[in-house]
């Protein structure tokens, strides 16, 4: 360490001396405008050619020497040269009849010739000294320009990381899979005695907001070991070789603090499949990935370094990084089910005062598909709504209002809507609601509203799923298409005309029908074959080198099949709505009166009616 400091000191001194010499040399010539090429002979030649305008002689007081300034009449810049005998120059100029001036030599400017060079030299010296001291210190703003290859990972120790597994709700199975990782970090000897090799890498895959980063922090918090966290994009730089250098530096730091955890968030930014870009094998991202592959499979078997990574695009990762010996274990962090959502809501409600009418179980039922981040945001928006009403507790109305804000958009009650548009919207939403209530697979209605929202919708119909489903049946998908078309059908029945309000519904229905045909093999005419083009693939190079999965003829057949599904669902949904036309009118009138109605008010309109739940569509 002392040798390194002495070497750095020698470098600092050498650079200071070099800078001082450069400044002195520069300052000695800074204000000089003399010319070593021009002399008396050149002056005589120019006078013969008639290019001299005038000459100024500045003789010395005691000797015949002096400076001569020559001005030209052909646009050439003035020239100053020094003569050993200015009388000779004076005689030549007079003989040619050129205008001559004799002036005293200007006295030296102490400020320009003395003080300014000293100030410039001191500024340069101070700058060089401060920069070199920053490099010696190994950090600071002055050394950042030379620290491109240093790792940007942030390390937190076991004492600093207070997150435990109890703080992670709704991920029971995922926590069980990570229990042995924690046990290894606490007591690695128990595993090495029996020749066990702990997984070198753990890949957490799942949708955004499901808690992958939180889970990694909880593992580090439970094990009480240092935790290095870095984003995949922090490796990639515009300078070639920087990413690979940062990978080496990161693993070097980790080895010094082993046992520890390295967590790489959004690893798909640096570990994408090689050969799919347009930059060839010299792409900076690929060089970084190559170094990461070497480091992950390069350190010893039981050095105590575990690499954890998170991504929501596992399909685009390079196969080499997914093999055993690198990321040995893949853990899918799924969206929570209804029980998991209730647990997550309870965790985020710990520091929030809730009133007695807040039913977290009901909130969990209405938030199917929400991730942990979505639920945290939901309760946060609820708390904001309560604070805006100057209350110190959260009511169920706050939660429902926040749910609409998060999922649909803020209601715009101040927006002026004509009676005609309000009537069209009421019948449109009533058409959706009738199908939600009658069709057995899609679930009951929770709320119907004709209040415009911030996302551009004129109204909304919100269902209440009674249970989470792992698989979606063909019947359920057909009923979803029918529900999407219900608003358009109601407009056609009542007004004999259609509007643009159903555009998003038609798009949703068409996409679902196409998925049935191309992804899920639910078309009897086309068979159990996957025709999906994998629209999620974003690689230009990969897309160019792969042909389509089906012919143009088959593409036309797929379009025919999709149209057939839509047409049959449209006809069946129209038949059901005509069967309950009286409810369509009564629910629309109630919506025009109240603007928003709930499940009880809507279901009361069906009293005394037989509900037909046996709906069959032959596709």
Name the pLDDT band for 514 (thresholds 50, 70, 90): very high
As a whole number, mean pLDDT of residues 112-125 equals 69
505 is in an annotated binding site: yes
Q: Give residue-wise pLDDT tens across range 241-272.
A: 677 888 888 888 888 888 888 889 889 888 88
Q: Does residue 515 have a pLDDT over 90?
A: yes
Instruction: Please check whether residue 597 is in contact with residue 451, taking contact to mean a CB–CB distance below 8 angstroms.
Output: no
Q: Does residue 36 have a pLDDT over 90?
A: no
Higher pLDDT, 54 or 517: 517
209 is in an annotated binding site: yes
Q: Does residue 564 have a pLDDT over 90?
A: yes
134 is in an annotated binding site: no
As a whole number, mean pLDDT of residues 76-88 equals 78
Residue 582 is predicted with a pLDDT of 92
Q: Does residue 534 have a pLDDT over 90?
A: no
Classified as helix, coil or strand, 95 is: helix
Structure-token pair, residue 328: 């040995």
Enumerate residues 6+ apart whose C-beta is below 8 A from 299: 251, 255, 305
Residues of the chain above pLDDT 90, percent? 23
**Which backbone phi and psi does 72 adopt, to 5 degrees?**
-110, 155
Structure-token pair, residue 210: 């499901």
Name the pLDDT band for 281 (thresholds 50, 70, 90): very low
CB atoms closer than 10 angstroms to residue 239? 10
As a whole number, mean pLDDT of residues 308-326 equals 87
Report how far residue 531's alpha carbon sits from residue 523's, in angstroms, rounded to the nearest whole number.
Answer: 11
509 is in an annotated binding site: no
Instruction: Please check whether residue 321 is in contact with residue 271, taking contact to mean a CB–CB distance below 8 angstroms.
Output: yes
Dihedral angle over CA of 359, 364, 370, 371, nearest 10: 90
281 is in an annotated binding site: no
546 is in an annotated binding site: no
**Which backbone phi and psi does 25 adopt, to 5 degrees?**
-65, -40
CA distances for 491 relative to 302, 486, 509, 582, 601, angstroms: 69, 9, 17, 15, 22
Nearest to 568 by CA among 530, 609, 522, 606: 522
315 is in an annotated binding site: no
211 is in an annotated binding site: yes
Residue 122 is predicted with a pLDDT of 75
Classified as helix, coil or strand, 540 is: helix
Lowest mean pLDDT among 372-381, 453-462, 562-571: 453-462
Instruction: Please check whether residue 337 is in contact with residue 157, taking contact to mean a CB–CB distance below 8 angstroms.
Output: no
Lowest mean pLDDT among 160-174, 202-216, 325-339: 160-174
Enumerate residues 6+ apart whose C-beta is below 8 A from 106: 58
208 is in an annotated binding site: yes
Is this prediction's pTM over 0.75?
A: no
CB-count burial class (<10 Å; 0-12, 13-18, 19+) for 221: buried
As a whole number, mean pLDDT of residues 596-603 equals 89
Q: Is the dihedral of CA 270, 273, 278, 283 positive or negative?
A: positive
Domains of the chain, start order: 2-30+110-146 (no CATH), 40-102 (3.30.720), 154-332 (3.40.50.300), 338-407 (1.10.8.60), 419-606 (1.20.58.760)
Residue 139 is predicted with a pLDDT of 45
Tell me what the pLDDT averaged over the chain comes to.
79
Report how far residue 417's alpha carbon sits from residue 393's, in angstroms, rounded to the nearest whole number.
Answer: 34
Q: Does residue 558 have a pLDDT over 90?
A: yes
As a whole number, mean pLDDT of residues 74-85 equals 78
502 is in an annotated binding site: no
Residue 143 is predicted with a pLDDT of 46
Residue 99 is predicted with a pLDDT of 78
Instruction: Kindly write down the DSSP assignment for every residue of 584-610, as one continuous string.
Output: HHHHHHHHHHHSEEEHHHHHGGGTT--
Q: Does residue 611 have a pLDDT over 60?
A: yes
Which among 91-105, 223-237, 255-269, 276-290 has the top mean pLDDT? 255-269
Name the pLDDT band for 26 (thresholds 50, 70, 90): low
Structure-token pair, residue 110: 């102490």
CA 535 to chain centre: 21
Name the pLDDT band for 575 (thresholds 50, 70, 90): very high
Nearest to 154 by CA among 255, 244, 226: 226
As a whole number, mean pLDDT of residues 142-155 equals 58
As a whole number, mean pLDDT of residues 1-5 equals 48
Report how far residue 154's alpha carbon sits from residue 253's, in angstroms, rounded to the nearest whole number.
Answer: 11
Q: Is 429 a catalytic residue?
A: yes
Q: CA angle 376-377-380, nearest 5°? A: 90
348 is in an annotated binding site: no
Residues of the chain above pLDDT 70, percent? 76
Q: Does residue 487 have a pLDDT over 70?
A: yes
Per annotation, catalytic residue among 284, 429, 479, 491:
429
Instruction: Please check whether residue 60 is in contact with residue 103, taking contact to mean a CB–CB distance below 8 angstroms.
Output: no
Residue 177 is predicted with a pLDDT of 85
């Amino acid at each position: 360490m002392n040798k390194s400091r002495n070497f750095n000191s020698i470098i600092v001194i050498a650079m200071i001396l070099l800078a001082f010499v450069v400044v002195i040399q520069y300052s000695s010539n800074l204000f000089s405008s003399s010319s070593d090429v021009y002399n008396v002979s050149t002056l005589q030649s120019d006078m013969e050619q008639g290019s001299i305008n005038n000459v100024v002689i500045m003789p010395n007081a005691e000797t015949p020497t002096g400076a001569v300034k020559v001005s030209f009449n052909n646009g050439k810049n003035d020239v100053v040269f020094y003569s050993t005998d200015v009388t000779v120059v004076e005689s030549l100029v007079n003989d040619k009849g050129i205008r001559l001036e004799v002036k005293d030599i200007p006295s030296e400017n102490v400020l320009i010739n003395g003080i300014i060079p000293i100030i410039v030299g001191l500024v340069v010296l101070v700058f060089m000294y401060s920069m070199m001291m920053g490099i010696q210190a190994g950090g600071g703003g002055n050394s950042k320009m030379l620290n491109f290859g240093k790792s940007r990972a942030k390390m937190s120790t076991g004492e600093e990381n207070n997150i435990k597994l109890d703080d992670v709700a709704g991920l029971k199975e995922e926590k069980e899979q990570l229990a042995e990782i924690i046990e290894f970090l606490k007591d690695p000897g128990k595993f090495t005695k029996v020749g066990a090799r702990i997984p070198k890498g753990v890949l957490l895959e799942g949708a955004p907001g499901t808690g992958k980063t939180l889970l990694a922090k909880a593992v580090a918090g439970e094990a009480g070991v240092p935790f290095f966290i870095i984003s995949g994009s922090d490796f990639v730089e515009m300078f070639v070789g920087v990413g690979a250098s940062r990978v080496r530096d990161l693993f070097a730091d980790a080895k010094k603090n082993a046992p520890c955890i390295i967590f790489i968030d959004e690893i798909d930014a640096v570990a994408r499949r090689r050969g799919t870009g347009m930059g060839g094998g010299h792409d900076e991202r690929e060089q970084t990935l190559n170094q990461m592959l070497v480091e992950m499979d390069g350190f010893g078997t039981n050095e105590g370094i575990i690499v954890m990574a998170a991504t929501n695009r596992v399909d685009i990762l390079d196969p080499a990084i997914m093999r055993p010996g690198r990321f040995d274990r893949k853990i899918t962090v799924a969206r929570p089910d209804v029980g998991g959502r209730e647990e997550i809501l309870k965790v985020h409600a710990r520091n929030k005062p809730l009133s007695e009418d807040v039913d977290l179980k009901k909130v969990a039922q209405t938030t199917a598909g929400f991730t942990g981040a979505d639920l945290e945001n939901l309760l946060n928006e609820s708390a904001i709504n309560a604070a805006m009403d100057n209350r110190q507790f959260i009511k169920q109305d706050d939660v429902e209002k926040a749910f609409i804000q998060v999922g649909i958009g803020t209601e715009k009650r101040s927006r002026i809507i004509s009676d005609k548009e309000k009537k069209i919207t009421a019948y449109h939403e009533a058409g959706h609601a009738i199908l939600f209530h009658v069709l057995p697979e899609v679930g009951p209605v929770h709320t119907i509203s004709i209040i415009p929202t911030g996302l551009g919708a004129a109204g909304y119909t919100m269902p209440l799923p009674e249970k989470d489903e792992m698989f979606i049946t063909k019947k359920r998908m057909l009923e979803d298409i029918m529900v999407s078309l219900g608003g358009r059908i109601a407009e056609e029945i009542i007004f004999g005309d259609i509007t643009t309000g159903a555009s998003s519904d038609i798009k949703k229905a068409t996409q679902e029908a196409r998925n049935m045909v191309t992804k899920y093999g639910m078309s009897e005419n086309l068979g159990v074959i996957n025709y999906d083009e994998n629209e999620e693939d974003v690689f230009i190079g990969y897309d160019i080198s792969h042909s389509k999965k089906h012919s143009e003829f088959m593409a036309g057949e797929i379009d025919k099949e999709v149209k057939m599904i839509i047409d049959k669902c449209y006809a069946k949904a129209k038949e059901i709505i005509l069967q309950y036309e009286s409810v369509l009118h009564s629910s629309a009138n109630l919506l025009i009166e109240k603007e928003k109605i709930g499940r009880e008010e809507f279901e009361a309109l069906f009293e005394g009616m037989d509900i037909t739940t046996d709906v069959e569509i032959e596709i």
